[in-house]
Chain A
Amino acid sequence: MALWRRLRNLWWRQKLAESRFGYLFDPEPAGEWVAIDCETTGLDPGRDELLSVAAIPGSGDCIHTSRALRLVVRPEGPVDEHSITIHRLRPRDVAGGIRPREALERLLPLIGSRALVGYYLEFDVAMLERYLRPWLGIGLPNRRVEVSALYHDKRIGLIPQKPVDLRFNTILDALDIPRLGEHDAYNDALMTAMAYVKLGHLRRV
């Protein structure tokens, strides 16, 4: 574990506002991970809001879709009309959703101390921490696995000069991942999980 993360987690462990979430700091279970993806009203984690989140746990090469969480979240402010065209969640779709804190209440036990797997994970984590910090006083202490970085490292050896195309669809195509219908949080999390599992077996892409 990187030193800075260990120090940070020690600090967060002290700060944790509700002790019942102490399990977040347990040792990481070997081979277990959770793929997550969020959909939001926009791309600014400081301002935009969470609309839906999907988390799919996995162990080794198995993706436990049967235990997946798919949560639709009701945002606290109005939904930006432009973003609706991307995530296709209209105000009426999210009206029946749960509050962000309730979403986190259900998400955290699934995540536990497992590694988080995502595509452009930084954004998803920032989005979740936006609601987490004011509540528990901490961010997500989990190890993070960035699929595009894994892909980058396995791709770069081949053509070192050229910048690597890291777009989601490019990665899916290069890895020959089957497409699973519309882009939504769950499908994206699932395809991310498949990419992660497959990358684990490849020396080069």
Chain B
Amino acid sequence: MPKPMSFADQIEFLREIPPFDRLTAAELERVAGAMDIQYFQQDAVVAEADSPAERLLLVIKGLVREEAEGEAIDAIGPRETAGAEALFTGRHERRLVAAEELIAYLLPREVFLDVCRGNRGFEAYYFEDIAAKLENLEERRRGAELASFLMARIDEAYLHEPLFVDGGYSIHETAVAMHAHGSTAALVREGDALGIASVTGIHRAAVIERADLDGPVRDIAHFDLVSLPRDRSLFDAMLTMMKRGVSRIVVTDPAAGDGIHGVLEQRSLMSFFATHSHLVVTEIRRAETVDDLARASQRMIAMVRSLQAKGIKTRHIQGLVTELDGRLFQRLFELVAPPELVANACLVVMGSEGRCEQVLKTDQDNALILRDGHTHPDLDTVAERFSEGLGRLGYPPCRGGYMVSNRRWRQPLADYKTAIFDWIHHPDHQSLMDLSVIADARAVAGDATLLGELRAYLLRWLNDSPALLSNLARPVLAFDTPLGIFADFKLDKDEHPDELDIKKGGLFPLVHGVRSLALEARIEATSTLERIERLRETGLLDTRTARDLGDALDFMSGLRLAHMLEDIDAGRTPDNYVDPHRLGHLERDLLKDSLRVVNRFKRLVAHHFRLHAVT
């Protein structure tokens, strides 16, 4: 009997949803055949806390709210499951309520556990933490990137320009020419034939065989040249090198005069994949003008893109970019400021740059701290030129005015101290913001001890005022965690997609909460990851929370980065609005997990600073 369409619909529906996507066809059929559908009115209790767990919920439509001690801690929307953990233990630890009118599939506990026993991957899904899921995602991405790497054309890799010598050249002359040309091989012409002499070959001839170095190079050249046309894939090139046991391939081009395009070295093939960061560093070091720096700066976007596509963890990309940005700022400052000013001032970056979390140039947040008593006649011009220079390097001006070109942010140390004292003792919206910004300051050029002194001052006075710390931490609760957005995931495909502000909803509360806790604990580190680590060391965060926060931060930053790169590609101004409907299931899942981590953390911060008690 043919299988009726409708049953296939049900299986199709399941097949798309993790972890059901890990099931075999037979298991899917079993699960689909065992499910019932239940309707719940809005606010109906789906499961009471401490009641026996009998079924897994798979939401078709609507939203389930998970509650612990009367507080909503999670939202489960269409195509997501609720109550799995309870099925393993047999009891619902938390109350499940229909936050909206709900239609859900119900899978009996025994079938669920049975499938778990038979399918490790399915079971593992419910025990994997965010780190394991991330790993999984990165592996997939790497796979895709590897494929595209192998499919890249030979001429996309770095090719050496061919060096031609005549067969009658002496070995010595050839070696000298190779040295001058900076290459490790020379192409040897002998009538119509073309051969190759490499450094290794010359080394063997001269050192091992003690050949006459004035003898003709043709005697040591190989004339069975290994070559490939320039439009073949790098994969072909790699195979050819392996098969023929050579470490370079002559790349041919029928359109070129002599038919030769260049030489592909095995090393270039391998490093095609590696970053070009060393190029950027060299370029920054050698820069003599702002334009030189601008070129290096531009190269960084391509570098970030290639690192991101390779599935490199966002925290590593951030680390690299921070390093390069630091050198960029330092070099620019040296270019525009006279040495005596550099020696008597400290250039600091703040905001995301200060936290080592800026990857794309989103804005310039910086300030200058002058040594008390030091004045410089050109200070105003230098500051102006510095901010303008950063603009040319691609850093848009800071909308909050946190720039050295703003008089408020280039002051003697003593004046900053006075300002901080004022902010702390007469806090308002602006001063709390200023405190948050300066709390993330990091020295990039000049005398770093100036910032050290300022930070010590800030941490001391902040801790004198617990009420202020509470007020400082309060914005952690300013925006709702957008878990509910997943509920809008309609089965109907032409619904208008809703977007999620990943910064407001996820990154900001995490970063700011960590910042607040770190300031209270007098932690000097500015990067969020480092602050989390310090907080863990001092016991303020438990190991699990610390790891979850780090992973969530990493994942959401990565998502934001991918989104911004996409915006740049499409010629749009990069923003923070991620469309969850366009994410893969695994990514959606991770985003939800990350937002849950943020949600838990918000509760922790609120409790710690008694944010619900203070009005």
A positions within 8 Å CB-CB of B: 52, 54, 61-66, 70, 72, 88, 93, 96-98, 176, 178-182, 184-187, 190, 193-194, 197-198, 201
A65 to B33, CA, bound (A): 8
Partner of B37, one of A62, A88, A93, A176: A62
B positions within 8 Å CB-CB of A: 1-2, 4-7, 9-10, 12, 33-41, 60-61, 101, 103, 105-106, 491-492
Partner of A178, one of B4, B7, B33, B103: B103
Partner of B7, one of A70, A179, A197: A70
Query: Please, which residues of chain A bring their CB within 8 A of the CB of B35?
Result: 65-66
Partner of A190, one of B5, B37, B61: B37
Q: A66-B35, A182-B9, A187-B6 are in contact. List 17 more A-B contacts (CB 8 A).
A: A62-B106, A63-B37, A65-B105, A66-B33, A70-B4, A72-B1, A97-B1, A176-B61, A178-B60, A178-B103, A178-B491, A180-B6, A184-B4, A184-B6, A186-B6, A187-B5, A198-B101
Name A's interface SS. mixed
- Nearest-CB distance from A201 to chain B (Å)? 5
Q: Chain A residue with minimal CB distance to B40? A: A61
25 A–B pairs (Cβ distance < 8 Å), ordered by A: A52-B4, A62-B37, A63-B36, A63-B37, A63-B38, A63-B39, A65-B36, A66-B33, A70-B6, A72-B1, A88-B5, A96-B2, A97-B1, A179-B491, A180-B6, A181-B5, A181-B12, A182-B5, A184-B5, A185-B6, A186-B5, A187-B5, A194-B37, A198-B39, A201-B39
A93 to B2, CA, bound (A): 7
A186 to B4, CA, bound (A): 8
A62-B106, A96-B1, A194-B103 given as contacts; is B6 within 8 A of A182 (CB)? yes
**CB atoms of A181 and B39 under 8 A apart:** no
Most chain A Cβ neighbours within 10 Å, of B1, B38, B39, B60 = B39
**CB atoms of A72 and B2 under 8 A apart:** yes
Query: Please, which residues of chain A bring their CB within 8 A of the CB of B10?
Result: 65
- Nearest-CB distance from A138 to chain B (Å)? 28
Ordered nearest first, which 7 A-B pairs have the shortest CB separation?
Answer: A186-B6, A181-B9, A63-B37, A197-B39, A70-B4, A61-B39, A178-B61
Query: Please, which residues of chain A bring their CB within 8 A of the CB of B1?
Result: 72, 96-98
A190 to B33, CA, bound (A): 14
Q: Chain B residue with minimal CB distance to A202? A: B41
**CB atoms of B9 and A187 under 8 A apart:** yes
Query: Please, which residues of chain A bring their CB within 8 A of the CB of B33?
Result: 66
**CB atoms of B6 and A66 under 8 A apart:** no
Query: Please, which residues of chain B bring their CB within 8 A of the CB of A201?
Result: 39, 41
A64 to B36, CA, bound (A): 5
**CB atoms of A194 and B6 under 8 A apart:** no
- Nearest-CB distance from A176 to chain B (Å)? 8
Q: Chain A residue with minimal CB distance to B60? A: A178
- Nearest-CB distance from B121 to chain A (Å)? 24
A62 to B5, CA, bound (A): 23
- Nearest-CB distance from B379 to chain A (Å)? 66
- Nearest-CB distance from A8 to chain B (Å)? 33
